[in-house]
Homo-oligomer: A and B are copies of this chain.
Amino acid sequence: MKDITPKLISLLKEGYCTPQIARMAKKLSEPSTTLQYNIKKLEKEGSIKAYKAVFDYKKIDEGFCAFVLITLSPNEYGDPERVGRELIKHSEIESIDVITGDWEMVLKVRVSDQDAYYNFVKNVISRKGITKIKTLTSLKQLKTEFVEL
């Protein structure tokens, strides 16, 4: 039997959703055309980047979650975004931030288990420009993407 679930998850993780205008209109007691107009405005000015699904990642074989604190080599200090942009396409990475303080970057990463994380570090993170990393492993996730778990 064809298992389309992985494809579905992949699409829903980054988009392929849409606002429920009628439901919001009821909730706010406003005409749906008014919401339509205002939502389109938010989209046009780029305030809304995507509509997507939030998962209980334990249940879709992405139970291992970690924050990766990254130290860049001195010659990358000037352009940490360059390193970041090379990481962006990796679907295991939920977020990428350039930060202040003891580290230069922080990633939030989701993979299936510790083994997969080891491979991720080996193949994706261990690259020229990244000097040192510190992993904070999540033991329990209470909230993610503004959604309570």
Residues of A within 8 A of B (CB): 4-5, 7-9, 11-20, 23-24, 27-28, 30, 34-35, 38-39, 42, 45-56, 59-60, 65, 67, 69, 80-81, 84-85, 87-88, 91, 93-101, 103, 106, 108, 134-149
Tell me whether A142 and B103 are in contact in the complex, defined as CB-CB below 8 angstroms, given that A42-B8, A47-B55, A55-B48 are known contacts: no
Query: Is the beta-carbon distance between A51 and B49 smaller than 8 angstroms?
Result: no
Q: Residue of B at shortest CB range from A11?
A: B24
Out of B13, B17, B100, name the residue touching A17 (CB < 8 Å). Answer: B17
CA distance A132 to B77 in the complex (A): 28
Query: Is the beta-carbon distance between B56 and A8 smaller than 8 angstroms?
Result: no
Within the complex, the shortest CB–CB distance from A97 to chain B, in Å, comes to 4
Query: Is the beta-carbon distance between B17 and A46 smaller than 8 angstroms?
Result: no
Within the complex, the shortest CB–CB distance from A45 to chain B, in Å, comes to 7
Query: Is the beta-carbon distance between B35 and A99 smaller than 8 angstroms?
Result: no
Q: Residue of B at shortest CB range from A65?
A: B97
Within the complex, the shortest CB–CB distance from A24 to chain B, in Å, comes to 5
